[in-house]
């Protein structure tokens, strides 16, 4: 295991200063990525990660997060407590130095924390700078110390107090309570419980045997996480709604001061889901550790397949083929002083030596696993061969589509009513359910910038369909040609012909099903469209309410109730209530005015805030596993609105 210094070594001498704090309030986005609500989550993560650093060093076992009614966010850990003795050079306490100087902390000497989530060291000082008010309490050697700050500046020198007011009940520990500055976070800083859960749950998987508790005092709700299985628990969670092909494969090893953990398992799906971490940082953009893993897996699968005569000499299985249906977690722990990330947000590991270390260790591991578990090896090779066969068929189908779908407009689908505008940023396309609604939309649209593509019936469920089958489905093929950006490995995002893609279906059960099928296609095959914010859902009205000469369109049951409640008690007008079951029931003017006019319409933008959760939801709703879907429906039945 990676070693760490003991409590007696952790003193003011461990604290190193790189530069002052002044730039933070001037350019906060440089330090936390954004001043939206995402920036507040980042601040929470920075404080939580300080407690996690103590856990990684073996000193903390409990971390509590409290969301207060007054807007304060509090994090308490039972670690050693930030040092409180004076730093001679600066004549202030180590705590004050950590809280008021940028890049001051115990991570820079390379001794206090052998493993740490922080490299850039923004941590507590940046959170302090961006807080209207912050309280820091430390308990060490049976004594409690306290200091408060206003917009990063101390309100008084560090002082000893009788007891902790923030709630340190442990023998030692640190508590930080901060109120984000509303002049910085102008969009608000009210964290969602679910968002906090997600951040804490991810960390809990990586720090086994540490108990995380979230207490939301706003609604008096508590939730805890404790995983003793580490990344194996995470792997099982990621794969829980899929049909696995074998038992999880797990590797743990160490080279010098670098620890490597890998867990992987194939399922019968067609999607790849590989997560990578460095210390407690989710490296969403991957990096050298992930490259090493992928290279080793491809090499080892090919080596075994050739050794067994499954693949002839000269032939090979591609990297994409070896990762189809793969769920994996790659986790590196290493000295914080040696970490190299690409960019301030720490989402891509840059250490070049890590790739070779991962490859070398995993080559030996995979070779041994395949030799000792031939049944598992055959399952994996069989899956990869199927993926290769499907890829070749998909390439032929895709090439055929692209040959027929020249992007000059001459061979666009005949049923597409294109717009006159050629600038994609000013163009939008409505994917409309049925010819009837398509006819109304074509007549009612603003043909200058609005295109209409009608779909006939329900499209193919592409959740587990290979690309050749997807592209052989005419409605999907027409959609791919209309969008113009290609698909699979030939995607050219710059050729996307519309920067607003709007799904417009009937407000009934069939319409919602068709909408889900379209969303599944985009999520599994054109995810970049969603990630770049180009996919929307139109919101047609549910009712037209006529009261005398007044007409009102309402978009929800609650809105209908409020409108009727507002008007009915005050007069005896005759009320005519018309429920729109389908878009085709509206004439072209009504459809445009209520659903398509940029001045009056309501649209929902589709975002992927949690890719792992989205992956699981699509697997549950659109996959072939009935029990998880039944459980999902039963647990969410109370939220359903029946339209009988």
Looking at residue 115, its pLDDT comes to 55
Looking at residue 363, its pLDDT comes to 97
Angle, to 10 degrees, between the axis of helix 193-206 and the axis of helix 231-238?
130
- The CA distance from 253 to 359, in Å, is 12
Provide the CA 98 distance to its chain's centre, in angstroms: 31
Give the mean pLDDT of 23-36.
Answer: 86
Give 345-355 pLDDT, tens digit per residue. Answer: 568 899 999 99
**441, 596 Cβ separation under 8 angstroms:** yes
Identify whether 53 is a catalytic site residue. Answer: no
pLDDT band with cut points at 50, 70 and 90 for residue 21: low
Query: 190: which DSSP letter?
Result: -
- The CA distance from 600 to 579, in Å, is 20
Percent helix, strand, coil in the chain (nearest 5)? 40, 20, 40
Catalytic residue of the set 268, 272, 285, 508 = 508
- Do domains 7-225 and 231-390 share one topology? The answer is no
Catalytic residue of the set 433, 463, 468, 615 = 433
Strand pairing report for 428-433 and 450-455: parallel
Q: Which CATH class is domain 7-225?
A: alpha beta
- Which one has a higher pLDDT value, 599 or 18? 599
Query: 479: which DSSP letter?
Result: H
Quick one: which of 642, 612, 635, 643 has its CA closest to 240? 612
Quick one: which of 589, 579, 422, 597 has its CA closest to 506? 579
Decide if pLDDT at 489 tops 80: no
Looking at residue 121, its pLDDT comes to 39
**328, 293 Cβ separation under 8 angstroms:** yes
Looking at residue 120, its pLDDT comes to 35
- The CA distance from 7 to 70, in Å, is 35
Decide if pLDDT at 223 tops 70: yes
Give 157-209 pLDDT, tens digit per residue. Answer: 999 999 999 999 999 999 999 999 999 999 888 999 988 998 899 889 998 88
Task: Find all residues with CB under 8 Å of 624, minimum gap 6, and list them.
Answer: 243, 464
Looking at residue 407, its pLDDT comes to 38
- The CA distance from 116 to 257, in Å, is 13
CATH of segment(s) 231-390: 3.30.230.10
Catalytic residue of the set 510, 559, 585, 597 = 510
Looking at residue 319, its pLDDT comes to 92
Residue by residue, DSSP assigns 421-477 as ---GGG-EEEEEESHHHHHHHHHHS-TTTEEEEEE-SPPP--SS--HHHHHTSHHHH
Give the mean pLDDT of 214-229.
Answer: 94
Give 365-391 pLDDT, tens digit per residue. Answer: 999 999 999 999 999 999 999 989 888
Give the mean pLDDT of 73-100.
Answer: 92
Decide if pLDDT at 400 tops 80: no
pLDDT band with cut points at 50, 70 and 90 for residue 255: very high
In our burial notation (b when 16+ CB lie closer than 10 A, e otherwise), range 572-611 reads: eeeeeeeebebbbbbeeebbbbbbbeeeebebeebeeeee
Task: Find all residues with CB under 8 Å of 197, minimum gap 6, and list them.
Answer: 214, 223
Decide if pLDDT at 113 tops 70: no
Decide if pLDDT at 411 tops 70: yes
Looking at residue 108, its pLDDT comes to 41
Identify whether 237 is a catalytic site residue. Answer: no
Looking at residue 529, its pLDDT comes to 93
Identify whether 181 is a catalytic site residue. Answer: no
Residue by residue, DSSP assigns 379-432 as HHHHHHHHHHHHHHHHHHHHHHHHHH--TTTTTS-TT-B--S---GGG-EEEEE
This prediction's pTM: 0.71
What tokens appear for 367 in the block? 């070779």
- Which one has a higher pLDDT value, 438 or 620? 438
User: Measured at the alpha carbon of residue 289, what is the angle toward residues 619 and 296, in degrees to the nearest 5?
Assistant: 80
Average pLDDT, the chain: 86
Give the mean pLDDT of 63-79.
Answer: 96
Quick one: which of 490, 560, 561, 555 has its CA closest to 526? 490
The helix/strand count (H/E) of the chain reads as: 20, 24
pLDDT band with cut points at 50, 70 and 90 for residue 620: low
**488, 401 Cβ separation under 8 angstroms:** no
Catalytic residue of the set 46, 54, 506, 615 = 506
Give the mean pLDDT of 87-93.
Answer: 89
**409, 483 Cβ separation under 8 angstroms:** no
Domain positions in the chain are 7-225, 231-390
pLDDT band with cut points at 50, 70 and 90 for residue 558: confident
Decide if pLDDT at 634 tops 70: no
Identify whether 508 is a catalytic site residue. Answer: yes
Looking at residue 410, its pLDDT comes to 47
Backbone torsions φ then ψ of 252, nearest 5 degrees: -140, 130
Backbone torsions φ then ψ of 53, nearest 5 degrees: -60, -40
- Which one has a higher pLDDT value, 317 or 411? 317
Looking at residue 346, its pLDDT comes to 66
**596, 430 Cβ separation under 8 angstroms:** yes
Decide if pLDDT at 125 tops 60: yes
């Amino acid at each position: 295991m990676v070693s760490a210094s003991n409590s007696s070594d952790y003193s003011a001498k461990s604290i190193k200063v790189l530069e002052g704090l002044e730039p933070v309030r001037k350019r906060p986005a440089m330090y936390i990525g954004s001043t939206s609500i995402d920036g507040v989550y980042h601040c929470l993560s920075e404080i939580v990660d300080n407690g996690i650093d103590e856990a990684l060093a073996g000193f903390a076992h409990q971390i509590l997060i409290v969301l207060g009614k007054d807007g304060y966010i509090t994090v308490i850990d039972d670690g050693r407590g930030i040092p409180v003795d004076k730093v001679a050079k600066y004549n202030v306490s180590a705590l004050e130095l950590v809280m008021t100087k940028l890049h001051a902390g115990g991570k820079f000497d390379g001794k206090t924390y052998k493993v740490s989530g922080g490299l850039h060291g923004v941590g507590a000082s940046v959170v302090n700078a961006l807080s209207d008010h912050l309280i820091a309490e430390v308990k060490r050697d049976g004594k409690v110390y306290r200091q408060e700050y206003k917009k990063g500046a101390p309100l008084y020198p560090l002082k000893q107090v009788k007891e902790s007011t923030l709630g340190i009940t442990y023998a030692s520990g640190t508590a930080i309570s901060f109120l984000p500055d509303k002049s910085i976070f102008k969009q608000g800083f009210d964290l969602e419980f679910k968002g906090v859960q997600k951040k804490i749950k991810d960390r809990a998987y990586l720090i086994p045997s540490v108990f995380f508790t979230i207490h939301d005092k706003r609604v008096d709700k508590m939730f805890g996480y404790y995983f003793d299985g580490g990344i194996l628990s995470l792997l099982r969670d990621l794969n829980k709604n899929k049909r696995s092909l074998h038992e999880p494969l797990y590797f743990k090893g160490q080279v010098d001061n670098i620890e490597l953990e890998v867990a992987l398992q194939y399922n019968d799906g067609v999607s790849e889901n590989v997560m990578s971490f460095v210390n407690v940082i989710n490296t969403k953009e991957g990096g050298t550790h992930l490259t090493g893993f992928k290279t080793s897996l491809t090499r080892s699968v090919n080596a075994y397949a050739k050794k067994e005569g499954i693949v002839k000499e000269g032939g090979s299985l591609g990297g994409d083929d070896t990762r189809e249906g793969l769920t994996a977690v790659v986790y590196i722990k290493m000295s914080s002083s040696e970490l190299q990330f690409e960019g301030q947000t720490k989402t891509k590991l840059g250490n070049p030596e890590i790739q070779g270390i991962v490859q070398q260790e995993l080559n030996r591991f995979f070779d041994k696993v395949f030799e000792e578990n031939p049944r598992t090896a055959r399952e994996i090779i069989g899956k990869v061969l199927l993926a290769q066969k499907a890829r070749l068929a998909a390439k032929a189908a895709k090439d055929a589509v692209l040959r027929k779908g020249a992007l000059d407009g001459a061979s666009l689908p005949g049923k597409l009513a294109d717009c006159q505008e050629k600038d994609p940023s000013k163009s939008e396309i409505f994917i409309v359910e049925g010819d009837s609604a398509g006819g109304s939309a074509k007549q009612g649209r603003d043909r200058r910038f609005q295109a209409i593509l009608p779909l006939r019936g329900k499209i193919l469920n592409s959740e587990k369909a290979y690309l050749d089958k997807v592209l052989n489905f005419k409605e999907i093929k027409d959609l791919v040609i209309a969008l113009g950006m290609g698909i699979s490995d030939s995607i050219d995002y710059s050729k996307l012909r519309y920067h607003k893609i709007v799904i417009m279906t009937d407000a009934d059960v069939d319409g919602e099903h068709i909408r889900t099928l379209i969303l599944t296609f985009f999520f599994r095959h054109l995810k970049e469209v969603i990630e770049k914010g180009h996919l929307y859902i139109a919101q047609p009205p549910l009712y037209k309410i006529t009261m005398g000469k007044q007409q009102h369109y309402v978009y929800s049951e609650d809105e209908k109730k409020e409108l009727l409640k507002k008007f009915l008690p005050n007069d005896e007008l005759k009320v005519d209530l018309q429920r729109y079951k389908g878009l085709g029931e509206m004439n072209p003017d009504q459809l445009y005015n209520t659903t398509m006019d940029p001045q009056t319409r309501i649209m929902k933008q589709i975002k992927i805030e949690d890719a792992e959760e989205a992956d699981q939801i699509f697997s549950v709703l659109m996959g072939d596993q009935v029990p998880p879907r039944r459980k999902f429906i039963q647990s969410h039945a109370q939220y359903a609105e029946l339209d009988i």
